[in-house]
Structure 1
């Protein structure tokens, strides 16, 4: 059974008495007609595969909608060029200049954490109140070593006034900067990149976490971080190193263990750390889902949290509050993140620039039960 979701369809406009498949076909037709009228696409529609992924519908449902638009004379199929826009629809809402925002996620959707989905939904609702729409685009072609061709095709086809870059790799950020495409980075930026960005202060978080663990008597502390070299992870390493260097204890030892972000890779990294002589007495884990894998591996090794080893999660997720012992973690209200990002996006829409190129939010430290005083040798 098809379970497509048509974004931003007004509740009162949905004919609930229609069969499910017919309902989806009508919703798709109305949405495509409206987006053409708004000027979202000016020359031709995106490829069918891209539309199916964006609207979360099957190709059959999409083709039913395209057939209807062809019958109305709004589009026509041309070999080698796709579905060309031949006329603006006068049905539905009155056409107006689009104020649409594209949210780009290089790679697959499974890169997103649940908290990303929450603040994206808040941002979408806040923009909708101002007559703007948020559209999500994702794909492995944007995560290539050289994504320039795919990015050029995307921004040429999708005439958005501003882009939000989520989990963006360095080549993506540099392409948007070099081509002067209006955007805001939802996350950290790389060195020598001057794009406006809104992010959590990962450097300050990891510096604080190092101080927290040192204050509880831990002297051998390890940072568990994936090899992605995302800008936020790089800042985490630097902040962790700063916190450890500030220690007045000459015997404080910093360890950084990289892994491939898979469960076996995380487990191997934990086993290698705990095989050291002497082993670390505390772990700072960058990703909240990797926290779960790491603590499970510690249990398999016969180690108890926090009696034998203390563990802190750099980021928060709702599920962490259901674990026992409850993890010590750093959390932020996703709505506050969405508000901060909204301010930057609206300024970009109005003037093409932002008054603040850098917005960093400090999460609150949630004292859980996963940190204890270090055991004396």
Structure 2
């Protein structure tokens, strides 16, 4: 229901309806009664945000996230809230569950929100341009960074981060390192696999495709992939899991089969979600600064809304290797000889 529908029903102009709803005392009483009667009979609910259309001051931003239950997305969202709440903005959160959400264009069309931050967006550049037409957007993700260079983004260097994990394992003497990752089309998934392969090559190790296992970004997938790995003729001495969820699922499966971590197999995760520190053994992992990603994305969006120029269009924050207790040094290094 639009204001023009009320105007047509009451037989007046849209401007007159607007004046009545604003409480303008200069509108004739008879006209005011006709408009208010039309509002009542049509069950019209005035959009108070429409009063700010000219200067786009809804003071609300849209955050699109696949799953709030995902620890990484939850941390990024927390970072966004840290910044926007302090500046007097509210957040409209849409959880897509990796599906398209038809309410996004409606929110944009009705000017309910001033801008948007996308935590994940698996879509083409054409679909992105159509869906978010005319709305300032910042990507707090790597999924679109490769395809939409014109949109500001915040991410980490996934290739370099994965290389750090493999370097650490290789420097501990591991020569047979498996990879658990995601088969999704996201840039992050592809880059972490690329970093795994790069790390092997940099240590003179061959990539063994039979040691690469791909599923979903989930605990369940890590559990099932680890069970698949146990059926291989040659078991690895170490695993690089491209997410902590995959690593935790894998640890559960391995423990059920009597495989000890790290005595039998070492494992490195990725993300440094809160629970990783409290596992037994505590998980060595790559930390991506999720809260800081959210804070930086929010800072960038508010800069754009303030009609200021960004210092950088694409910001890469640093990842960090967090060493805990899930990896061991190979015995041949302790003896001072070389592996056979």
The alignment's TM-score, normalised by the length of structure 2, stands at 0.74
SS of the residue corresponding to residue 330 of structure 1 reads strand
Say whether residues 1:367 and 2:323 are aligned partners: yes
Asked if structure 1 preserves the Cα contact closer than 8 Å seen for 2:237 and 2:265, the reply is: yes
Query: CA distance change for structure 1 residues 169 and 77 in 2, over 3 Å: closer, same or farther?
Result: farther
Asked if structure 2 preserves the Cα contact closer than 8 Å seen for 1:143 and 1:169, the reply is: no
CA distance in 2, matches of 1:77, 1:137: 31
Query: CA distance change for structure 1 residues 266 and 202 in 2, over 3 Å: closer, same or farther?
Result: same
Segments of 5+ residues of structure 1 without an aligned counterpart are 1-40, 45-72
Show the counterpart of 2:58. 98
Pairwise CA RMSD = 3.3
Show the counterpart of 1:316. 272
The equivalent position to 1:137 in structure 2, one of 89, 94, 117, is: 94
Show the counterpart of 1:28. none
SS of the residue corresponding to residue 58 of structure 2 reads coil
Say whether residues 1:274 and 2:230 are aligned partners: yes
The equivalent position to 2:312 in structure 1, one of 328, 349, 356, is: 356
Show the counterpart of 2:142. 188
Show the counterpart of 1:237. 193
Query: CA distance change for structure 1 residues 122 and 131 in 2, over 3 Å: closer, same or farther?
Result: same
Show the counterpart of 1:164. 117
Correspondence 1:61-76 to 2 at 5 A? none
Show the counterpart of 1:209. 165
Give the count of matched residue pairs.
Answer: 293
Q: Which has the larger radius of gyration?
A: 2
CA distance in 1, matches of 2:191, 2:143: 10
Show the counterpart of 1:85. 46
Query: CA distance change for structure 1 residues 89 and 260 in 2, over 3 Å: closer, same or farther?
Result: closer
Query: CA distance change for structure 1 residues 177 and 235 in 2, over 3 Å: closer, same or farther?
Result: farther
CA distance in 2, matches of 1:257, 1:88: 50
Asked if structure 1 preserves the Cα contact closer than 8 Å seen for 2:49 and 2:112, the reply is: no
Q: Detail structure 1 runs of 4+ shifted over 6 Å in the superposition.
A: 41-44, 86-90
The alignment's TM-score, normalised by the length of structure 1, stands at 0.68
Segments of 5+ residues of structure 2 without an aligned counterpart are 5-35, 332-338
